[in-house]
Amino acid sequence: MRMVRAGRRCARCAPAQPPATEAAIIDATGVKGEVTCRFTHVYPDGPAPYFSFHALGRHGALLEQWQAIKNAASDALIAAGGTITHHHAVGRDHRPWYDRQRPELFAAALRAAKEALDPRGIMNPGVLIG
């Protein structure tokens, strides 16, 4: 069993995300899982729902099953207008969706800062920018 949380500052994504994740759990594992939600922060534009999924997986296929569920849940989140980021930052698991949301001008600024401050590329290589 694997659990993942993805925070987002957009409450309008909340209704769309669980059905997509529930379907992805069944598609990936062949059995019904569970999707839970909790609100951890409230902002002027709405609460920050955190979704977790719990599912029984097959040994030898756990990572692939987790990735399929993660992909479907994150795609649903973006399609519903949510964001993959929050105050916990991005990380490697969220990077593909972050790249879709991050403005290119911001990516260029990050690259320039990283080049100036970390010319050898030893601090979190490949996490926020390629």
Just list the catalytic residues.
50
CB distance 84 to 99 below 8 Å: no
**Helix H or strand E encompassing 39:** strand 34-43
Contacts of 84 (CB under 8 A, 6+ apart): 6, 8, 74, 77, 78, 90, 94, 97, 98, 101
Measured distance CA(33)–CA(38) in Å, rounded? 17
Amino acid symbol at 8: R
Amino acid symbol at 1: M
